[in-house]
């Protein structure tokens, strides 16, 4: 083939690749993304020192070794105005070294770098410029900086068609040829589980988790209302399990584990249940002051292994008796991860029967406790545990014949 023809063929292949493939096909997020995001702990009060040291803590605390990869800078990093050529620029006071230098330092620690923008005309809360109309330029800028994950919010989006604008950003990301995770953050307004799997790797299913037990109950069904407490967000996930799988994940929002408003039992419960949901595990606590008992939750490798199970089947609630619930998730090896969840004010016994797991012929199964890290051995028909108020027991149940 003549060089000109080779070039023309290569160009056609590139164009076809960019238009035919979806973000789904770029091989990322085969298991739910894991990382840390600045928003829940710091909101807009971020700067490069703080992000760098959070990345250091991710390494020194053992989070990196446990699988947490992405260091995500949420809203608050942008300058108020774009440059004369339209390029996004970082706030020079908060990020004087610029985002490329920050990305380089995060990569040097063996971690990945995530960044925030908005699909509309302006970011949430900060009012900095959004990416509407600048999708290609912004994606190219992010790629040039070495970004590995882009979270795209939904403020100031009046009149926009969500599927269209997020598809535009997805194509723009693909066109850069840099593999980047696309994290859609449109709060479930336009049922993203129906369309975002084709163009993105994860999509928020609800409004923000405010780190409270069940706040927002009174207003959640009013126009513009959202569930705010994490147990209400949990309830909103139970019809969505069919939409998740490798490369495409429902996102019930970042973890509030370790933040004010969550006691230890509640932090452990959220972490366990998010793992049953195959949710992205994005920590949102202040890593600088993380006490050992919170590190002990975020670093529980047996629970993380449930979240990261390679088959990628999202779990669901299988039983509810008043405030006592059972959530279960089938795993690749034929076992199931099970959470016994007590929403009540007092500790309570909860019984799981093997038939709750759809195992009609299973009489004997072995039980491993994923928080006590102990095998309880073979049991016939059922397992009963005393579960603390607002707490969980999490076990892995394996039929004896496996
Ligand atoms: C929205 C998003 C949050 C966070 C803030 C930042 O509320 O849902 O996750 O990114 O904006 O302003």
- Beta-carbon count within 10 A of 243 CB: 19
How confident is the model over 146-195, as pLDDT tens digits? 999 999 999 999 999 999 999 999 999 999 999 999 999 999 999 999 99
Average pLDDT value for the chain: 94
User: What pLDDT is attached to residue 13?
Assistant: 46
pLDDT value of residue 136:
98
- 161 in a domain, yes or no? yes
What pLDDT is recorded for position 26?
A: 85
Q: Which of 125, 183, 216 to mutate to test the pocket of ligand 1 (most atoms within 8 A of CB)?
A: 125
Residues 103 and 69 in one domain: yes
Bridge-based pairing of strands 149-153 and 112-118 is parallel
What is residue 6's predicted lDDT score, i.e. its pLDDT? 52
Which residue, of 261, 277, 307, is where some domain finishes? 307
Ligand 1 site, CB within 6 A: 39, 74-75, 124-125, 153, 185, 208
Per the domain annotation, does 203 fall within a domain?
yes
Say what the pLDDT of residue 401 is. 82
Q: Phi first, then psi: what are they for 330, rounded to 5°? A: -70, 135
- 353: CATH: 2.60.40.1180
Ligand 1 atom at minimal distance to the Cα of residue 124: 12
SS3 274: helix
Q: Is 149 within 8 Å of 113 (Cβ atoms)?
A: yes
Please report the DSSP string for 134-180 in residue order: -HHHHHHHHHHHT--EEEEE-TT-TT--HHHHHHHHHHHHHHHTS--
Mean pLDDT, rounded, for 36-56: 98
Taking residue 91's Cβ as centre, other Cβ atoms within 10 Å add up to: 18
Residues 120 and 218 in one domain: yes
How far away, in angstroms, is 381 Cα from ligand 1 center?
Answer: 45
Could you tell me if residue 266 is inside a domain? yes
Question: Same domain for 98 and 247?
Answer: yes
Which pair of structure tokens corresponds to residue 116?
Answer: 């925030």
**Closest residue by Cα to residue 259 from 203, 207, 323, 213:** 213
Q: Which position among 123, 138, 153, 307 bears the catalytic label?
A: 153
With a cut of 90, say whether residue 102 has pLDDT above it.
yes
Contact 351, 383 (CB under 8 A): yes
From ligand 1's centre to the CA of 398, what distance in Å? 40
Residue 402's pLDDT is 78
Give me the pLDDT at residue 217, please.
Answer: 93
- In a domain, residue 16? The reply is no
Nearest atom of ligand 1 to the alpha carbon of 254: 9
Q: How many domains does the chain have?
A: 2
Q: Does 227 lie in the same domain as 356?
A: no
CA-nearest residue for atom 1, ligand 1, is 124
- Tens of pLDDT, residues 110-142: 999 999 999 999 999 998 999 999 999 999 999
Atom in ligand 1 nearest the alpha carbon of residue 125:
12
Residue 24 has pLDDT above 70, yes or no: no
Same domain, 325 and 302: no
Q: Is 208 a catalytic residue?
A: yes
Per-residue model confidence (pLDDT) at position 265: 98
Q: How far apart are CA 245 and CA 27, in angstroms?
A: 13
pLDDT at 14 over 70: no
- Quote the ligand 1 centre to 262 CA distance (angstroms): 19
Residue 270 token pair: 């959220």
Answer yes or no: do 186 and 101 share one domain. yes
Stretch 206-227: mean pLDDT: 94
Query: Looking at residues 261-270, what average pLDDT do you find?
Result: 98
The residue among 307, 340, 366 that closes a domain is 307
Residue pLDDT, tens place only, 277-335? 999 999 999 999 999 999 999 999 999 999 999 999 999 999 999 999 999 999 999 99
Q: Mutation test of ligand 1: which of 114, 124, 209, 226 has the most ligand atoms closer than 8 Å to its C-beta?
A: 124
- Provide, rounded to the nearest whole percent, the portion of the chain with pLDDT above 70: 94
The confidence score (pLDDT) of residue 21 equals 46
How far away, in angstroms, is 296 Cα from ligand 1 center?
27
| Whether 109 and 227 share a structural domain | yes
Q: Is residue 42 part of a domain?
A: yes
- Please report which confidence band the pLDDT of residue 17 belongs to, taking 50, 70 and 90 as the band edges: very low
Residue 182 · residue 131 · CB < 8 Å? no
- Is residue 150 situated within a structural domain? yes
Which sign does the torsion angle of CA 332, 279, 216, 153 carry? negative
Whichever domain contains 146, its CATH number is: 3.20.20.70
Residue nearest to atom 9 of ligand 1 (CA): 208
Q: Tell me the mean pLDDT in the region 234-259.
A: 97
325 found inside a domain: yes
Taking the CA atoms of 59, 62, 68 and 72 in sequence, report the sign of the dihedral they define.
Answer: negative
Instruction: Tell me if 1 is assigned to some domain.
Output: no
* Active-site residue identified among 123, 138, 208, 251: 208
Mean predicted confidence (pLDDT) in 61-73: 98
List, in sequence order, the alpha helices (H) in 191-283: 230-235, 264-276
Interval 86-105 mean pLDDT: 98
Res. 3: pLDDT tops 80: no
Residue 369 annotated among the catalytic residues of the structure: no
Q: Give residue-wise pLDDT tens across range 333-351.
A: 999 999 999 999 999 999 9
Q: Give the tokens for residue 376.
A: 């309880």
Tallying the residues shown for the chain, one arrives at 402
- Residue 348's pLDDT is 98
Same-domain check for residues 333 and 261: no
Give me the DSSP letters along 295-328.
HHHHT-HHHHHHHT-TT----EEEEEETTEEEEE
Q: What is the mean pLDDT of residues 196-221?
A: 96
Same domain assignment for residues 321 and 232? no
Please report the sign of the dihedral spanned by the C-alpha atoms of residue 153, residue 156, residue 160, residue 165. negative
Distance 57 CA to ligand 1 centre (A): 23
The whole-angstrom distance between residue 365's C-alpha and the CA centroid of its chain comes to 32
User: Atom 11 (ligand 1): residue with closest C-alpha?
Assistant: 124
Judged on CB neighbours under 10 Å (0-12, 13-18, 19+), 68 is: buried
Domain extent for 373: 316-399
Q: 332 with 241, same domain?
A: no
Tokens of 27: 């091989």
Question: For ligand 1, what atom is nearest to the CA of residue 204?
Answer: 8
d(CA 297, ligand 1 centre) in Å: 24
One domain for residues 295 and 320: no
Pick from 279, 307, 335: which residue ends a domain? 307
> Could you tell me if 294 and 324 lie in one domain?
no
Tell me which residue has its CA closest to atom 3 in ligand 1: 208
Residue 360 is predicted with a pLDDT of 87
């Amino acid at each position: 083939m003549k060089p000109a023809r080779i070039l023309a063929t290569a160009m056609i292949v590139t164009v076809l690749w960019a238009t035919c493939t979806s973000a789904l096909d770029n091989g990322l997020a085969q298991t739910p993304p894991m990382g840390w995001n600045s928003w829940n702990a710091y909101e807009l009060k971020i700067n490069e020192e703080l992000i760098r040291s959070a990345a250091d803590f991710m390494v020194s605390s053992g989070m990196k070794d446990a699988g947490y990869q992405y260091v995500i800078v949420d809203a608050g990093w942008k300058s108020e105005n774009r440059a004369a050529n339209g390029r996004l620029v970082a706030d020079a006071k908060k990020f004087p070294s610029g985002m490329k230098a920050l990305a380089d330092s995060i990569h040097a620690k063996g971690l990945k770098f995530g960044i925030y923008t908005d699909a509309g005309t302006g970011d949430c809360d900060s009012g900095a410029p959004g990416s509407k109309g600048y999708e290609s330029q912004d994606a190219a800028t992010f790629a040039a900086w070495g970004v590995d994950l882009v979270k795209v919010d939904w403020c100031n989006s009046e009149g926009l068609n969500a599927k269209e604008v997020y598809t535009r950003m997805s194509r723009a990301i693909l066109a850069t040829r840099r593999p980047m995770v696309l994290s859609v953050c449109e709060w479930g307004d336009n049922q993203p589980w129906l369309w975002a799997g084709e163009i993105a790797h994860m999509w928020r299913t609800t409004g923000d988790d405010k780190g409270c037990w069940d706040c927002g109950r009174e207003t959640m069904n009013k126009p513009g209302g959202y569930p705010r407490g994490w147990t209400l967000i949990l309830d909103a996930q139970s019809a969505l399990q069919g939409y998740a799988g490798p490369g495409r994940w429902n996102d019930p929002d970042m973890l509030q584990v370790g933040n004010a408003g969550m006691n230890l039992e509640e932090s452990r419960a959220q972490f366990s249940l998010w793992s049953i949901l195959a949710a992205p595990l994005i920590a949102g606590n202040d890593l600088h002051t993380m006490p050992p008992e919170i590190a002990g939750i975020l670093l529980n490798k047996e629970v993380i292994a449930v979240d990261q199970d390679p088959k990628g089947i999202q779990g669901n609630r299988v039983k509810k008796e008043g405030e006592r619930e059972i959530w279960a998730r089938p795993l690749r090896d034929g076992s199931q991860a099970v959470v016994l969840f007590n929403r009540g004010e007092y500790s309570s016994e909860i019984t799981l029967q093997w038939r709750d797991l759809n195992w009609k012929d299973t009489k004997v199964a072995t039980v491993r406790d994923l928080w006590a890290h102990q095998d309880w051995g073979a049991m016939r028909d059922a397992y009963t545990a005393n579960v603390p108020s607002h707490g969980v027991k999490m076990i892995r149940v394996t039929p004896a014949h496996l």
